[in-house]
Amino acid sequence: MALLIIFGFVAGAATAVSPCVVPVLPIALSAGATGGRRRPLGVVTGLVVSFTFVLFALVYVIDALGLPNELLRDVAIVVLFGFGIVLLIPPLAAWVEAFGSRFAGRVGVNTEGDGFWPGVGLGLSLGVLYAPCAGPILAAVLTASAAQPFNAGRLAVVVAYAIGSALVLYLLMIGGRKLAAPLARRSGTFQMAMGLVMVIVAFAMWQGYDTKFQSNVTASLPSWLTNPAEGIEKSHSAQVALAEIREDGSHGGLGLRAAEAEGERQIDKARTRRGEELLGEVGEARLTSKQEATVPLNDIGTAPEFTDTEKWFNTPGDRPLTMKGLRGKVVLIDFWTYSCINCIRTLPYLNAWNKRYAKDGLVIVGVHTPEFPFEREAANVEEAIKTDGIEYPVVQDNEMGTWNAYGNLYWPAEYFVDAKGQVRYAHFGEGQYGEKEQVIRELLAEAGHSPGKARADAHGMAAEPGVTTPESYLGSARATDFTNGPIEAGRQTFTLSKPGENELSYGGEWTIEEQPVTAGKGARLDLNFGARRVYLVLGSPGKPRRVKVLLDGRPIAPAADGSDVHNGYVKVTNQRLYNLVELPKVEHHVLELVPEAGVQGYAFTFG
């Protein structure tokens, strides 16, 4: 945690000199140039307090009430506009200053001549405005905070980030104060001018010009300049510390222990393969036979109960199951979400195992933990269960209660529980299906259930080797590798540019949210990918809409059509994963999408 606090401080300081502070900087500089000598200190004090409150306390309120995250930006715009109007009208400014001084005097605070408390008031509004600049470190900390009890360590990270930013802004204000000293002699006129600046900035933010400006500037600048904290936030040390944060409050760190056991198992496999090479063909046959006979099982920990769940499917009367009630059975817990292509590719194997071993004592429970908001809807989950032919029990884990109880980190993730309720094996991601079936058979035999000799007849689509493009999100929460620069929330008009390898580019009008993004007038999205198959999570609220699909500047050929593309178009209806491209092998191309206004997009995945 101490390391993460240091990273938070340094990342906050770096953020204060990034393009993200464009809306904050003119107000901060003007505040430092006017008022008493202690006003800049008041401004940064207010910024630290409100930034911390907004990012740490309000995350619970917004999550609980389902409020839009853009609400904070709207509040900041209103507050800035109000401050600007006050400064533009000298009598009103004098009245507000006098009122603040009288109030502070009643509570025993001396404000004579320093402007500290008026500075605090302005800093409180700047903290709300500054909140969207929070980087990946704070995003991960806050995501964990929303699902876990209050923790002083996570609060310390947020405060450190705020102090780092405030310190740099304070130095900028002091420097600006010296430069503006000649102007400040005409304090009345200068104060009105600063009020006009605030009103103009508030109007520009209301129209989304600030995000457009940031996008245009950062698109032509190197990443070390547009995001100075990126190296710190993506460092191995920071990622390890964040993993520990996510584990905090989980069921004894079960997910982390399972990941460690999986890593040790892979090392053992590598050693076995090396032994096979040294022993030659005879030894290889003997080792392979032994490896197929058994899979090493570990005592990872007690399987937690299903926690904070919602609707159950495929159980008698849709009644909840409990781990206690499943004692004596071998239980396979599968964490999945229905629009995840990696999860979808595992379903044929899960269905086959359920069909083959349910009568022998196996119970598979699909824990549906949603990634996107629409996956929280029970009707959508039920439809996916029917579409994918799932007959084993499934439970909605909308609040990530069971996910956090396991300390889980991935989709898909499978935990194999023995008849005594102990997790003995875990696997994250796709593959290893033969080994996992062998684990089922061993645990059944261990529990006194005969699995028989026949194995499940399981077949499914495998992830294609050689895919170079990572999963790519479109919303502001996790968008990376866009030629447009950092993707900020708000309605924006983008200039399309040619994407490099594994890059994306927006063109035309888009309304950007954390998730999803919504196409507007002249919208376009280009992606330079290296894969065999391309998938995109799409939705079309209210009515069906179409997306035109082009490959390398031409209408996509029937030979490359994904299963959801017909005559060069995708008809988008309900929110789900759509298959756009299906090539004979992994190839590099530029995919160009031209959506009708109103189409929503979430994330690309590849195979």
DSSP assignment of 215-250 equals HHHHHTS-HHHH-TTHHHHTSHHHHHHHHHHHHTTS
Alpha-carbon gap, residue 68 to 424, rounded angstroms: 41
> Is 56 in contact with 167 (CB distance < 8 Å)?
no
Q: Which two tokens stand for residue 249?
A: 């409050």
Alpha-carbon gap, residue 20 to 171, rounded angstroms: 18
pLDDT value at position 280?
Answer: 43
Alpha-carbon gap, residue 529 to 361, rounded angstroms: 44
Q: Coil, helix or strand for 414? A: strand
pLDDT value at position 205?
Answer: 65
Alpha-carbon gap, residue 238 to 137, rounded angstroms: 8
Q: Coil, helix or strand for 575? A: coil
Q: Which two tokens stand for residue 239?
A: 């990622």
Alpha-carbon gap, residue 40 to 23, rounded angstroms: 17
Alpha-carbon gap, residue 319 to 331, rounded angstroms: 17
> Is 580 in contact with 536 (CB distance < 8 Å)?
yes
Instruction: Count the neighbouring beta carbons within 10 Å of the beta carbon of residue 498.
Output: 10
Alpha-carbon gap, residue 47 to 40, rounded angstroms: 11
Alpha-carbon gap, residue 73 to 202, rounded angstroms: 10
Tokens 């989950």 label which residue? 381
Alpha-carbon gap, residue 593 to 549, rounded angstroms: 5
Measured CA distances, 531 to 3, 59, 78, 493, 561 (Å): 37, 37, 46, 29, 14
Bridging pattern class, strands 569-572 and 504-512: unpaired
> Is 56 in contact with 473 (CB distance < 8 Å)?
no
> Is 258 in contact with 297 (CB distance < 8 Å)?
no
8-state DSSP, 56: I
Bridging pattern class, strands 576-595 and 524-539: antiparallel
First-last CA distance in the chain:
37
Q: Coil, helix or strand for 518? A: strand
Alpha-carbon gap, residue 474 to 489, rounded angstroms: 11
Q: Residue by residue, what is the 3-state secondary structure of 98-113?
A: HHHHHHHHHCCCCCCC
8-state DSSP, 493: E
8-state DSSP, 352: H
Give the global pTM: 0.59
pLDDT averaged over 10-residue windows placed end to end, the chain, 607 residues: 63 61 61 65 77 62 54 65 74 64 47 58 64 50 45 68 76 67 55 72 69 51 47 50 49 60 55 41 36 74 93 95 95 96 93 96 97 92 94 95 89 95 93 93 93 86 86 92 91 94 96 93 97 96 96 95 96 95 96 97 94
Alpha-carbon gap, residue 321 to 378, rounded angstroms: 18
Stretch (H or E) spanning 121: helix 116-130
Alpha-carbon gap, residue 278 to 478, rounded angstroms: 46
Rounded (5°) CA angle 543-544-550: 145
Alpha-carbon gap, residue 339 to 205, rounded angstroms: 34
> Is 55 in contact with 142 (CB distance < 8 Å)?
yes
Give the phi and the psi of residue 278 in degrees, each rounded to 5: -75, -35
Rounded (5°) CA angle 507-508-511: 100
DSSP track, 37-50: TTHHHHHHHHHHHH
Beta strands in 277-377 (DSSP E): 301-302, 312-313, 330-336, 362-368
Alpha-carbon gap, residue 385 to 314, rounded angstroms: 9
pLDDT value at position 214?
Answer: 52
3-state helix, strand, coil in the chain (%, to 5): 50, 20, 30
DSSP track, 176-202: HHHHTHHHHTTHHHHHHHHHHHHHHHH
Alpha-carbon gap, residue 233 to 140, rounded angstroms: 10
Alpha-carbon gap, residue 544 to 475, rounded angstroms: 21
pLDDT value at position 404?
Answer: 87
- Burial class of residue 183 in the structure, from the number of CB atoms within 10 Å of its CB (0-12 exposed, 13-18 middle, 19+ buried): middle
pLDDT value at position 147?
Answer: 43
Alpha-carbon gap, residue 494 to 67, rounded angstroms: 27
- Comparing CA positions, the residue from 423, 431, 2, 3 lying closest to residue 253 is 423
Alpha-carbon gap, residue 309 to 402, rounded angstroms: 7
Q: How many residues does the chain have?
A: 607
8-state DSSP, 427: E
Q: Coil, helix or strand for 449? A: coil
Q: Torsion over CA of 18, 21, 22 and 27, rounded to 10 degrees?
A: -140
Q: What per-residue string of b and e applies to 440-479 under the rule 16 or more CB within 10 Å gives b? A: bbbbbeebebebeeebbebeeeebeeebebeebbbbbbeb
Beta bridge partners of 396: 368
Instruction: Count the neighbouring beta carbons within 10 Å of the beta carbon of residue 409.
Output: 17
Q: Coil, helix or strand for 514? A: coil
Q: Which domains does the chain have, with CATH numbers?
A: 2-247 (no CATH), 254-446 (3.40.30.10), 472-606 (2.60.120.260)
